[in-house]
Amino acid sequence: MPAKGYVEIDKEVCKGCNLCVLNCPTKCLALNTADTNSHGLHYAYLADEEKCIACMNCSVMCPDAAITVYKKAE
């Protein structure tokens, strides 16, 4: 079974470019269209924690290093 993961996204650093959302293989990230950060931008968030497999694609893709990935203990 793939590892379970969790990501933290610094919403003030995120510029809402959507790259992480598009490159997440399990489609567990989304842009928060209901809220904005202090820059007026929709930021990414972990929409479905159950689906995160800690693959780190999102953190590698993020141009602003806004994402930290954690592996949950098995």
Binding site for ligand SF4 (CB under 6 A): 5, 7, 9, 14-20, 24, 26, 28-29, 44, 52-58, 61-62, 64, 66-67, 69
Provide the 8-state DSSP code for 47: S
Q: How far is the CB of 62 from ligand SF4 (least distance, A)?
A: 3
The H or E element spanning position 67 is strand 67-71
Provide the minimum distance between the beta carbon of 60 and ligand SF4 in the complex, in angstroms, as a whole number: 9
- Pick between residue 1 and residue 58 the one whose CB is nearest to ligand SF4: 58
Q: How many residues does the chain have?
A: 74
Beta bridge partners of 68: 8
Q: Which residue has the tokens 């930021």?
A: 43
